[in-house]
Structure 1
Amino acid sequence: MIVHDIFSKRQSFITLSVSELVRMHKDGRLILRDTNQLQVRRIKKYIFSNAAGGEIYLPPLVAAVKEGTLGGEIPDSLSIVDGSHRMKALLQLEDQIFMSMKSEKDEEIKNAYHLQYLLEKTEVAIQVLEGLSTEDENQLFIDLNTKGKQVALSKRIAYDSRNSLNGITNRILQSNAQLISAGVETEKRAIIRPANKKFLSLSQLRLLVATFLAGKLLSRPEEWKEDAGAEDETYMDIVNLWLEKLFTFHPPNRIGYYHETMLASFPLIQAIALYVNKEWENQSLSAKKQSLTERMDSIKGLDWSTGNQEWRRFNGTVRGEFFYLDKSKRNIDEISNWLETKRR
């Protein structure tokens, strides 16, 4: 073990096996911070789901020890500064494995044995700092969890190979020429109309894809549960067909121009997506495509211009010369139901 003197606090990196960490916790020699069980369950699910492939990536824990503890030996006790949720998840895996081995699902049993084997040979990296006061530990915890830069949404979508929603969104974004022409904002979190003329933000595109995956209106992509059971290509076909039809309503290179078309309003786009997803349950891909085509063609002739006063029948606000639709679920539902009455 190499000990470094940095910023007046001695520190080092050590590795401990999961079994040793479990023993330390049982003996009261591993002190954790308060945890949120929901977050612990998410980490357990991540570990359990990826045990078979061994693709589990956890950053090092950060721990504090008493002054004079660091030397040539592994510390006898640790106070976890950052990583208590990860550690609590590891501590609870024994019960998870035991319960999964009694499952009636072969996949769960298989994962349980993979995880048991993996944990037997796994060591956890820990950054250890010596001589921190309670105030130092608290400040370090805050700094570690607030000062780091969050990975940009565009990077999460581009690089997250496990998440079907991100994968489908990325492939649509990269391959749909009309969508590229319409413009997708990947740098800013929100699109401010009418100044920003890009059609969608990246988060909005992902939410639309999630809506098609779920077959219903979603407020956040996280509401979609990955249990749809169909291939990614199936949903890509559906979303790409919908976009193709949508761009016949207004040219893609100008569909984000709010002074020209209300289609630059995301609540309206959500309402159109909801409108075409109605009565889709248990339908085949070909039936869904036929229904989508009929529904989109039936409303193509509507007056989509911003100046159409009929938009003001819905909840919204007037700012300057423009009327902005309210983004509430109730309002989107009402617009979707109104589109239903306009079918020709």
Structure 2
Amino acid sequence: MPTITWQTLTRWTDQELAAFDVAAADLLCALGLPGAETIDVNRCQATLDQWARHIHEETNRLAYLFTRHPSKYQNSKARFRMMVLATVLQRDLGVHCDLFWNDLSDFHFFSNPDHLFVHGVVQQRRGTCSSLPVAYAAVGRRLGYPLKFVTTWRHVFLRWDEPGGEQFNVECTSHGFVSHPDFYYLHWPRKLSEEEVRHFGALKSLTPRQEFALHIGNRGHVFRELYNLPAAVDAYAHVCHLYPESWSWSASLVDTMNRWESRLRARMPPVFPPMTIHFSPRAFTNIPQDLERGVFNLYARETLLTHPPFEEKWWKPARRDPRQLPADYRSHIKVRFPQKIGENLHFSFSARGVSTNDVDGRQSP
């Protein structure tokens, strides 16, 4: 059976993703990140299985509380169940929101995968609004609870969202079980305008593909803060494809592309050969074609400028003295991205009317 990666999941339907463990999906997005080398997906899943069994037992043991005093729980078995889940996670298992992490700078917060992915909760019993909802949802869904992810300004919470039935929000960073109304999240952590709610997809229960986009987005955040801009752009492009309704992800993609462009321009020699690019078939069909082609253009230049033989032979001498270019300096570059699976990125170079072919051998994004 082929190995499942986070890229594999981007091709799945909502129905397929809904049947896949949210914790596993989250952890697949963390694999390969700097600082996430100790992640054991199977062990994390086994721990969450144990937590779910313990909560199931405690829910049954405490069921008499609801039977005797249902009004204390707004006559809602669902609220009672979530109260037990939150209480057991926090009181018995020690899971809590780390307020120190929340006060960190963006760099120190987003550059550490422990702050963003569920393994941080499982291994350290502490988390943030990025990781705690995954832990709560992973446990709750193991118990059959209809939990959905919901976003507001730089914050994620859950919603018990029973089709045709009960709905209420679940704040995963609070002490105890707390359920704020939607109105609360319109004003916290900051006030949202009607336009922002509409364009950012705030306060809506996310579909499985939109939910998965959040996990990939966190992968992008880590790479962006660590200045691995190609990997960050790759992640954000996948997010925008999965969740085109949210303009905030488009803003993250464009901002990171602009940073990448600035870095490349600082490295390019004053005289850089013009390029003709033969693009791959569209991969991110839910984002504008010009934006997608911009991603491939950046990747082509990144590959050319960071290839050591090209750097020594052409770019370094051209930066040193653009008036005295190497005799074999290229006048034009043709870039051919893979047209089917298994092909490599291919470069053709022209100089003084003579064409030569070079194959970089690296896979395109």
Q: Same fold (TM over 0.5)?
A: no
Q: Which one has a bigger Cα radius of gyration?
A: 1
Q: Of the two structures, which has the highest relative contact order with CA contacts closer than 8 Å and spacing of 6 or more?
A: 1
Q: TM-score, normalised by structure 1?
A: 0.30
TM-score by length of 2: 0.29
